Structure 1
Amino acid sequence: MVQKTIFFEQNFDNEALLKIEEAYDRMLTEMNTSLSGYYDLPVNQDDVIANIYRFIAENELLSGHLIKDLVIVGIGGSSLGTRAIDTLLQFSRHRNIINIHFLENLDPLYLVNSVKRIDLSRAFVIIVSKSGTTIETISIAKYMLSLMQENEEVVDINRRIAVITEIESPLDKLAGERGWERFYIPKNVGGRFSVLSPVGLLPLAMLGYDIEALLDGAAKMRDEFLKTGIELLLFKKAYFYYKNRLSHNINILFSYSSLFEAFNKWYVQLWGESLGKKDSDGNRVGLTPIGLIGSVDQHSFLQLILEGPKDKTVTFLKLKNFELPVTIPQMTLPHLEATDFVNGRRFQTIINTQCDATIESVIESDVPVDLLEINELSEQSIGYLIYYFELLTSAVGALLDIDTYNQPGVEIGKRKLYEKLK
């Protein structure tokens, strides 16, 4: 489903193999002791899936196709994964006609103008906050509730709201009192690793996607991890990041389709928030993620990669089949005859050839490169890709000897905000 190729050379001496074995064992321990619950999300959610489908079937607004706008109130890991998957699969035959809106930022211009595009009388709101107290999320939720209550056309408000949170959180208790439907994020699943939990599964199911196929794709990657062990190519890549963490501390994801723009943002949060830490000795470590879109950023950032400082690695993400055989017309324009060599060629062929040419250019510039190829966009392939990057993040975190799953820096910022506002 996803073919992985590494173009840079990496020698594995006994020290390297021992380090990789230690990282793999640590990841198995994280899995087996439930230190991080994301490992098992692809294989132990039969009850969750059944509950999601039950809710959709029993809510007459959803089952009767009376909902026009789905509103996700959440920030960071509470929204980025869902947005990424929906953006990638938006042209799928499974996607229904419900509009989805992500209300994330407290910017009043963004918020007010975003809400103008929502038909409140035909809207359904999902409030997502693991802690149940995220200030941005709760503030926007209050705003949405006030608008819905003031709008006389909005009926059955409590049937139009669901929450996704941790059990016994303040938001969970509020939802219980109001009669809002509740779905739970496992306590040992952090927000940025939560897209394969109800955080992503509920809204994606409401949009018509096959969430079982999504989990099945992730499960295939999980099986590879367990069966292949340290021979998995992922560990070769993770060790290169660890070994060259000082000289190549900027990691670029160069995705060749505009549909990957939201996925790149999901990757940036996953990578940055997980790996920018202090290690067990108190040393500051981290790898800086950058998301680029091909071929657009060939005309912006590529120059820096090729001739700027050699402090970067590049992962190219390539879609082999766009499933749209659109060709460039057989057209000759005055003064532009030199461009006629592309006439009759498919756009897909050109963008993928651009990717290949860029890879060659980067390799010739002695920049470390690897390639991920997806045969097609489907629930299975995206589930596999999501889990691949989650595993890669955990592997690098284990090699760096950090806590991959906490975010103490983020918590400091939250405390400062509370102090200032109070």
Structure 2
Amino acid sequence: MLYFEDDFIWENEESIHVMMQEAYQKILDEKEKGVSGYFTLGEDSLPIMQDALAYAASNEFVKKSDTTVVIGIGGSSLGTKAIDSIFKHRNTDVKKMLFLENPDEIDLSEKLAVIDKEKTVFIVVSKSGATIETISIFKEVIERFRLDYAGRDKQQIITVTDENSVLHQFSRYYGIKSFIIPANVGGRFSVLSAVGVVPLSIAGYDMKSILEGARVMAENFFSKKENHILKKAAFLTKYKKETPINVLFSYANCLEDFTKWYVQLWGESLGKIDRQGNNTGLTPIGHIGSIDQHSFLQLIMQGPRDKTVTFIKVDNFEKEIKVPNISLKFIEKTDYINGYSFNELIDGECKATKESIIKEGINVDAITLDVLNEKNIGKLIMYYELLTSLCGILLGVNTYNQPGVEIGKKILLKKFHLFTRKGIQ
């Protein structure tokens, strides 16, 4: 189960309700017109999952492999990486996952050095099929491991891309297994499509339960059983000038990559020029409690009042480690926590931090997971995707494009073409 609560300070509740109604009608229209296809991925991706599992069962190399390498960046890897980070500690029978994302030579060299080609499945993920970082890293993998993609090694390569993209054409030409991303599902909304479903299913994760959680959240929302999402979107966008920054504090280390996924989803979807030609958006900041309380809480408490704070916490980590009943000379003042579990400690820190922020008059909301399980994470993913779409609607922007990112890609292309013409390799 997921539990939601807020301590928002409302000034005009009637205007919030008007915004909620407007946002609901427009997101329902987006769903019905197929503007974005992520709404129904909880159901639509089940055949993809079954296809991936069937392929893994029939491919002798995949069956004996112990490592799945995902070559992708941004929306092609962040969500998948988040799910792996959350559940790898409790799944001893899943394949190890490595993510080759950034063309950072140090990071890339370290990761490539630990790959055993004979036990590894390589999954290349690119919606366009020509993401420069992804394809460049794929080329390095081919050369480093002498990967015979046209012959005997094609069985250990899988691609995930748009239908008829250049990567899809490459795959068909060489007989490489390829899975298709729905055309109306953008990269940062794609974790529940083939982008995440294929590598996570092949690695051995329970994608069926994750998809079920997402399906339930979407179904409940469109049945008006999750109106708190509408309220939050209306509140955040109504006060966008006063509090344009949302700080997400996730109280579990394993949620760090989920927090990074949220930052991309929020930032790339909402930082736009609106229909009136104004620069707008809501700025995401991701932190891990209780670690980052010691670096960022002071700014929240006594710095500029331009932030809202969201807490994600887990009620039960399903571990039982207690603070030992030991008294250390000169440090006896810490003994009050002796005998309590670390779960109780981190939960207490979360509650105390939240209460202190509320006392300062800062707007706060919280999401509580009773346990870290697949269904809950599926719900949480869909919750954030719906919230992002609703905020985009109320901000008056196109939530699903990224023209600012495309400008950088065009400049990069021009620079390298210029270098090539000058004979610089």
TM-score class normalised by the smaller sequence: over 0.9
- Give how far 1:331 is off: 1.0
Counterpart selection for 1:274 from 254, 264, 269: 269
Q: How does 1:316-395 map to 2 (within 5 A)?
A: 316-395=311-390
Is the Cα contact below 8 Å between 1:68 and 1:119 reproduced in 2?
no
Distance change (3 Å), C-alpha of 1:139 and 1:340 = same
Whole-Å Cα distance in 2 between the matches of residues 235 and 150 of structure 1? 49
Partner of 2:420: none
Give the Å deviation of 1:13. 4.5
1:138 counterpart residue number: 135
Q: SS of 1:47's equivalent?
A: helix
- C-alpha spacing 1:353/1:174, structure 2 compared with 1 (3 Å): same
Identity of aligned residues (%): 44
Provide the secondary structure at the position in 1 that maps to 2:43.
Answer: coil
1:64-116 Cα distance to aligned partner (Å, 9 max, x none): xx2122111000000000000110111224x5242211111111121112101
State the secondary structure of the residue aligned to 1:127.
strand
> 1:215-274 CA distances to partner (integer Å, 9 max, x unpaired)?
000111112211116x70111111111111011011000010111110110000000000
| TM-aligned CA deviation for residue 12 of structure 1 | 5.2
Partner Cα separation in structure 2 for residue 330 and residue 156 of structure 1: 60
Amino acid at match of 2:179: F
Alpha-carbon shift at residue 150 of structure 1 (Å): 6.7
- The answer for the alignment partner of 2:186 in structure 1 is 190
Confirm or deny that 1:124 pairs with 2:121. Answer: yes
Range with greater deviation from structure 2 (395-404 or 41-50): 41-50
**Contact kept in structure 1, 2:88 and 2:94, CA below 8 Å:** no
| Partner secondary structure for residue 397 of structure 1 | helix
Q: In structure 2, what is the Cα distance between the partners aligned to 1:265 and 1:105?
A: 15
Is the counterpart of residue 58 in structure 1 residue 55 in structure 2? no
SS at match of 1:184: strand
Q: Please provide the CA RMSD for this pair.
A: 1.4
Please give the alpha-carbon distance, in whole angstroms, between the structure 2 residues aligned to 1:107 and 1:73.
13
Which residue is equivalent to 1:21? 21
Amino acid at match of 1:221: M
Q: Secondary structure at the match of 1:289?
A: strand
How many Å separate the matches in 2 of 1:378 and 1:204?
15
Q: Deviations over 1:286-305 (max 9, x none)?
A: 11100010000111100000
Aligned residues between the structures: 415
How far does residue 323 in structure 1 lie from its aligned partner after superposition? 0.4
Query: Which of residues 221, 227, 238 is equivalent to 2:223?
Result: 227
Kindly indicate whether residue 419 of structure 2 is the aligned counterpart of residue 419 of structure 1.
no
Q: Paired residue for 2:84?
A: 86
Contact kept? 2:102, 2:133, Cα under 8 Å: yes
Counterpart in 1 of 2:154? Answer: 158
TM-superposed CA distance for 1:156, in Å, is 3.1
| Rounded Cα–Cα distance in structure 2 between residues aligned with 1:15 and 1:381 | 32
Instruction: Output the CA distance in 2 between the equivalents of 1:150 and 1:171.
Output: 16
Does the alignment pair 1:115 with 2:118? no
| CA pair 150-167 structure 1, distance change in 2 beyond 3 A | closer
Change (3 A) 1:182 1:329: same
- The alignment's TM-score, normalised by the length of structure 1, stands at 0.96
Q: Which residue of 1 aligns with 2:291?
A: 296
- Mapped to 1, the partners of 2:102 and 2:380 lie a distance apart of 27
Residue of structure 2 equivalent to 1:33: 33
Question: C-alpha distance in 2, partners of 1:159/1:74?
Answer: 19
Q: Distance in 2 between matches of 1:122 and 1:240?
A: 50
- With over 3 angstroms needed to count, the CA separation of the structure-2 counterparts of 1:305 and 1:249, relative to structure 1, is same
Structure 1 residues 17 and 241 mapped into 2: Cα distance closer, same or farther (>3 Å)? same
Report matched runs for 1:197-236 at 5 Å. Answer: 197-228=193-224, 232-236=227-231
Distance in 2 of aligned mates of 1:334 and 1:117: 45
SS of residue matched to 1:102 = strand
Give the superposition deviation at 1:53. Answer: 1.4
Structure 1 runs of 4+ off > 6 angstroms? none
* Counterpart in the other structure of 2:45: 45
Provide the rounded CA distance (Å) in 2 between the counterparts of 1:273 and 1:417: 19
Mean Cα deviation higher: 266-275 or 82-91: 82-91
Judged with a 3 Å threshold, the aligned counterparts in structure 2 of structure 1 residues 273 and 150 are, in CA distance, closer, same or farther, namely closer
Specify the SS of the correspondent of 1:375: strand
Using the alignment, how far apart are the partners of 1:311 and 1:23 within structure 2?
24
Q: Gaps (5+ residues) in structure 1?
A: none
Between the aligned partners of 2:367 and 2:259, the Cα distance in structure 1 is 14
Partner of 2:101: 104
The answer to whether the 8 A contact 1:224-1:232 is kept is no
Query: CA offset at residue 328 of structure 1?
Result: 1.0
Paired letter, 2:187 = G
Task: Give the corresponding residue for 2:421.
Answer: none
Q: 1:402 aligns with which of 392, 397, 419?
A: 397
CA deviation vs aligned residue, 1:187-223 (integer Å, no higher than 9, x gap): 0000000000011111111221111110000111112
**Residue pair 1:92, 1:378 contacting (<8 A) in 2 also:** no
State the secondary structure of the residue aligned to 2:179: strand
Q: Distance in 2 between matches of 1:283 and 1:311?
A: 19
d(CA) in 2 for partners of 1:216 and 1:12? 37
Distance in 2 (CA, whole Å) between partners of 1:46 and 1:198 is 10
**Secondary structure, counterpart of 1:149 in structure 2:** coil
Amino acid aligned to 2:119: R
Inter-partner Cα distance in structure 2 for 1:70 and 1:97: 10
Q: What does residue 310 of structure 2 align with?
A: 315
Q: Secondary structure at the match of 2:232?
A: helix
Aligned to 1:5: 5
Cα distance in structure 2, aligned partners of 1:387 and 1:351:
26
- Measured in 1, the distance between the counterparts of 2:355 and 2:47 equals 47
